[in-house]
Amino acid sequence: MSVATPYFDQLFAGNDDPWAFRQRWYEQRKRALTLAVLTRPRYASIFEPGCANGELSAELATRCERLLCCDTASAAVRLAQTRLSAFAHAHVERRRLPQEWPTGEFELIVLSELCYYLDVNDLNRLIDRALATLTDNGQLLACHWRPPIDGCPQTAEQVHALLQHRLGMPPLVQHHDQDFLLDLWSRDGTSVARHEGLR
């Protein structure tokens, strides 16, 4: 069974940064690596589900023309809206995924520290919706903490193995260290050098 919304509501009760995104060097480094693996300087549209308090969202907002973020926890949505208030092209909504996947197309979908909260059935439904809304040149980024998390139905390894199996796209970038898995898949498979005509 997927982790229910009250779990996340409780995390944000009286705490505007339950994972210490702003304080921990681990989180700062992971955020920098996440941005560094993106192969395009800008994207037409980005969707970031599970945005929490919007720390990564604020960085993604500088790399796109349109940003949609969502979270299942109401407090997280309010925090992210405040964090992104300077970006007119960024919007934050309360949604429970995969049931409330948004309409429209996205050039980049960012699944950061989200998918191991979903059981296999819900993750498969989420992948179906991601594939249906990615543009023809779309990319999907996934980043997940490797150690098992109490109460989570899946591990990072299980999540990334299923994504690799289901997406049917070549991985452009893979960074795997002892702490987390970070993968970027792309429908067109074009490297940065090839995109710029260097080979």
At 84 the pLDDT is 98
**Distances from the Cα of 72 to the Cα of 37, 40, 53, 59, 165, angstroms:** 27, 29, 12, 21, 27
Between CA 94 and CA 133, with CA 56 as vertex, the angle to 5 degrees is: 55
Query: In the chain, what are the domain boundaries?
Result: 5-195
One-letter amino acid of 69: C
CA distance 183 to 190: 15
CA distance 92 to 85: 10
CA distance 131 to 141: 13
Tell me 18's DSSP state.
Answer: T
Task: Copy the structure tokens of residue 38.
Answer: 């993106």
Between CA 97 and CA 22, with CA 171 as vertex, the angle to 5 degrees is: 55
User: For 125-139, what is each residue's pLDDT tens digit?
Assistant: 999 999 999 999 999
At 196 the pLDDT is 74
User: For 136-166, what is each residue's pLDDT tens digit?
Assistant: 999 999 999 999 899 999 999 999 999 999 9
At 19 the pLDDT is 87
Cβ count within 10 A of residue 151: 8
Topology (CATH level 3) of domain 5-195: Rossmann fold (3.40.50)
CA distance 148 to 184: 22
The DSSP bridge partners found for residue 145 are: 180
At 191 the pLDDT is 76
- Listed as ranges, residues in the chain with pLDDT below 70 are 199
At 70 the pLDDT is 98
Task: Copy the structure tokens of residue 109.
Answer: 């979908």
Token pair 């092209």 is found at 89
Task: Copy the structure tokens of residue 24.
Answer: 């921990």
